[in-house]
Structure formats: C-alpha cells, structure tokens
Structure 1
Amino acid sequence: MQELPTAIPDVDGLLLLQPEELGAKLLFLVRQRGANGILNMNMFHPQSMISELWTNHGGALKYPREREDQINMALIEAWAWIEAQGLIVPALGMNGQNGFRVLSRRARAFENEQDFAAYAIARQLPRDALHASIRENVWLAYMRGDYDVAVFLATKAVEVAVKLAVREEPGFEKLMGTDLMRRAFHPENGPLADMTAHHAERQARSELFSGTIGSYKNPQSHRDVNLEDPVEAMEVIMLANHLLRVVAVRLAAIVS
C-alpha cells in the first residue's frame, strides 16, 4: 500500500492509531484504488499491500526499515479488526481461499471516514449489557445511526417501566413524564423510593429520574431533535439502561 505513507507520513502517529482508526485509513485507500481502476475486480490482498511498503520501486522507502516489524504488526492488527467486523470478506472461489478480499456491502456504503468513525463508535455499545426491554429496538436503531430514535426509545422505556411498577397505586393513572417520576420516587412517600436510604439520596434519585426524562425523553417527544453524536447518544442510552435496572431492583424489593 504505497499510498499509506502519503496519507500517514508520521510513523509515530501511525503506531499510535488504534486498529479501528488505522482500519478507516486502509479501507478508504482501498476504495480509492477501486475508484481509480487499480484493483482487479475490486479484489485486493492485505498481505501483498503490506509488502508493497517495503518494495523499492526506483525510490527510497518512505518508512524507515528499522520500524518495519512495528508497522507491519499495526497493519496486521488493523486488517484483522476490519475483517472481524465483516467490513472485508473473502473473494469468491479460489481467490478468496488464496487470501484475496473484497469490501463488504457495509464497507462500500460508507461515504467518508466520518461515517466509518461513527460506525466504529457504535460498535462499542454493549448489546448484551442492555436491559431486555431495550436490547433489540434501541440497539438496532443505534446501529442504523438513528441516534435520536434510539435515545427516545430508551428513555421512553424508563417511563413505561415506572408506569408499570406503580400501576396498582392510587392517583398514578394520569401521571406521565416528569410528574410521574417525581411522584413515584418522592422522598417522603413515593412507592419506588428506597426508605432505607438517606433523605438526600432519595431526593437525588427522584431528581435523577425526572431530570433524565425531562432532558432526554420529553424534547424528543415534542420536537425534532437532531442528535448526531454517537458518543452522546450512547451515554444517554446507558443512563436509561441504569435507570431501568434501578426500577427492577425497587420493584423486586416491593414485591418481596
């Protein structure tokens, strides 16, 4: 991959990149080769591309030979990460068996490196760690890049869980949103309040639930919220995930 030293001229900078970060560069260099007609049927051989770096084509090597092992290992890790994510797949037939790869449909769908970066971040959302009520719909919406939808579904699930937990309590029939949260976790008489905790902690929990719904669920309900940051969306989803577990714990304590 003779284009790599032009894309990343600093060796130390290259070695500091995580596999997914270096992988983004490699994917788009491969796409550029395909667009320029350099690749045969869009197939490429990752190991051959690594070897290109150390082949002298009439000029001096652009990376220092003494760093060859380090650079090769970084590239091997990047290619391995890319393949593990299903972004490159074996070419059909004997070519694939001989190490040739092609870009997957997902990889070809990336418009730019920012799309890839968002995808790499999205992969960090731990699906198996999510509460059962949001494990499927929220995770799928997030992976599609519908971050505002994922946040709304996650916070809506918190509201639904609280509503179900207090459905037998009188006076809760018409409550919803922040009013529901404040009443359900009221530090003095809320049915979901933990009366073994200090008053300040009970108050804080009431505010945590109402603040989450007021800040993240209600705005999504009332207007279009263009949430484009996958990290922010992930943080809100994990906050909602924690609140769902709190509700489950409190409900179990009440039942017992």
Structure 2
Amino acid sequence: MTPLRALIPESNAVAGMQTADLAGCVLEVLMSAGPMERGVWNRRNFCMQTGREYAPPGQPDDDAVGIACSSAWSWLEANGFIARHPEQDNEWYLPTRQGEALRDHQALRQFMTSEQLPEAFLHPELLLHVRPLFFQSRFETAVFEAFKALEVSIRTAANLGHDLVGVPLASRAFHPEDGPLTDMNAERGERVALMSLMTGAIGSYKNPSSHRRVEIEAKEARDMIILASHLLKIVDARRPQ
C-alpha cells in the first residue's frame, strides 16, 4: 500500500487540509493495496500507522494526522466510497463500486466538481465552454466566459451591433419600451425588472473580471454560472422565430 506521506509529505499539510480533499488522498492510498488487501481495510490500524509515518523518530504518533485521517475516513463512508465489511466487525471496510470507479484523489475531486455543477443545470453553450474550466478550478475564467456567452447571445438575438457592449447592450436589448427582446405583453414593472436583472448580472459578474483579477470560490462561481445559464435560457426564449 502506498504511504500517505508519498502523496502529502508534510504532517501540517495533512492536518490542515479540507476533509474532502484529504479523503481523496486516503482513498488513493487504500486503493493502492493489492487485491487481497483491498477488502480488509482497518480504520484503526490505518489511522495509527499513518500517524507513525509522520512522527519524528522516537516520538509518539502524530495525533493531528490520525484525527485528520479518521475524519477523512468518515467522509468516505458517509459519501458512499467505502463501506463496512458485511462479514467483519465495525473496524473493517471495503470499497464500494463508486470507490472502485474513482480510485484516486484527482478522480474524486473531478467527481465532486461534477456534482457541484450538474450537467442538467447548464445551457448547452456553458456545458461546452464553461463547465470544463470549472472542472480545472479556473473559477474566475469560467464565470467571465459564462457572462461573455450571455452578452454574445443577447447581441445576436437582438440583432444589435458591436458598438454596444456589456450593460449598455443589455439595457438596449431589454429596454422596457422598445427593446427587441422585451415582451411587451408583460406588465411594465416586470419589463423593467428583467432589464435590471440582465444589466445587473453582466455589470456585477462579467465586467469586474474584464478589468482586474477577481478571487472567486467554487461555490460562488457555481451560483454565478447557474445564474448565467438561467439568463441565457431567457434570451433563447425571446429570440425572433
């Protein structure tokens, strides 16, 4: 079995990792065992042995590492990647089909990312050009590309020229009185609200990334991309037949 230290050399890095990230590395270590060992993982033995790996010679086991590994083990069990052995006591585990399918920390990370941004939520344009960037953890670029796709879609659907960009473009396309993408059968307040939604989204989420580096976390990027997808679908519905 590959030691965890081969993947994460420093004990403080193990103790400080997010549980889900460490869980991927623990899964990779467990899956590196040979076929005969793969169905007889022991939680207590693994956590104690890993604590010893990081302890200085002659010093007690690294308790922080052991606790972090125990938490990661619990995460793997709770999320269905490992399960208690049906014929052994509660300390013995084996991989589930889901655990067998993923095997290493990179595959687990991609799986988690996929779950955070489900395919069914996304407009086809974002599925093709934005979701891969999200998978690569390029969250700022993914958000920028999502709202650039929205801007391009608005321009095309409204048949407007390249002299209008960003907020002015969305304002013209969804102007409550004569916007080419405005539903004149809707109540005026709703027309104004939709224009404000389009301009606010582009102004808030596309424009800052155009002018400076913006730090965006995964969950925040996911919400922004899903909003862009929703707005793209509105634009599609307003395209002239």
Q: TM-score range by the shorter chain?
A: 0.5 to 0.7
For 2:77 and 2:122, locate their aligned partners in 1 and report how far apart those are by CA, in whole Å.
32
- What letter corresponds to residue 43 of structure 1 in structure 2? A
For 1:198 and 1:76, locate their aligned partners in 2 and report how far apart those are by CA, in whole Å.
47
Asked if 2 retains the 8 angstrom alpha-carbon contact of 1:23 and 1:78, the reply is no
Equivalent residue for 1:235, pick from 200, 223, 228: 223
Q: How does 1:98-137 map to 2 (within 5 A)?
A: 103=104, 106=106, 116=109, 120-137=112-129
- What letter corresponds to residue 152 of structure 2 in structure 1? V
Q: How does 1:214-233 map to 2 (within 5 A)?
A: 214-227=203-216, 229-233=217-221
- Map of 2:150 onto structure 1: 158
Identify unmatched segments of 5+ residues in structure 2: 1-17, 46-73, 83-95
Asked if 2 retains the 8 angstrom alpha-carbon contact of 1:141 and 1:149, the reply is yes
**Deviation of 1:28 (Å):** 3.9
For 2:233 and 2:139, locate their aligned partners in 1 and report how far apart those are by CA, in whole Å.
22
**Deviation of 1:153 (Å):** 0.6
- Report the CA distance shift for 1:239/1:27 in structure 2 as closer, same or farther (over 3 A): closer
**Deviation of 1:42 (Å):** 3.9
Asked if 1 retains the 8 angstrom alpha-carbon contact of 2:176 and 2:188, the reply is yes
Equivalent residue for 1:198, pick from 187, 201, 210: 187
Identify unmatched segments of 5+ residues in structure 1: 1-20, 54-70, 89-102, 111-115
- What letter corresponds to residue 229 of structure 2 in structure 1? N
- Report the CA distance shift for 1:148/1:193 in structure 2 as closer, same or farther (over 3 A): same
- Map of 1:77 onto structure 2: 80
Asked if 1 retains the 8 angstrom alpha-carbon contact of 2:130 and 2:145, the reply is yes
User: Do structure 1's residue 246 and structure 2's residue 238 form an aligned pair?
Assistant: no
- Report the CA distance shift for 1:191/1:124 in structure 2 as closer, same or farther (over 3 A): same
Equivalent residue for 1:213, pick from 202, 207, 217: 202
**Deviation of 1:235 (Å):** 0.3
3-state SS of paired residue (1:141): helix
For 2:174 and 2:157, locate their aligned partners in 1 and report how far apart those are by CA, in whole Å.
11
Normalized against structure 2, the TM-score is what?
Answer: 0.64
In the TM superposition, what whole-angstrom CA distance separates every residue of 1:196-240 from its partner, at most 9, and x where no partner exists? 11111100000000000000001111111122x111000000000
In the TM superposition, what whole-angstrom CA distance separates every residue of 1:233-255 from its partner, at most 9, and x where no partner exists? 0000000000100000011xx32
Asked if 2 retains the 8 angstrom alpha-carbon contact of 1:154 and 1:237, the reply is yes
- Map of 1:145 onto structure 2: 137
- What letter corresponds to residue 99 of structure 2 in structure 1? E
- Report the CA distance shift for 1:219/1:22 in structure 2 as closer, same or farther (over 3 A): closer
- Report the CA distance shift for 1:74/1:225 in structure 2 as closer, same or farther (over 3 A): closer
For 1:150 and 1:133, locate their aligned partners in 2 and report how far apart those are by CA, in whole Å.
12
3-state SS of paired residue (1:123): helix
Task: Give the alignment's Cα RMSD to 1 decimal.
Answer: 3.2
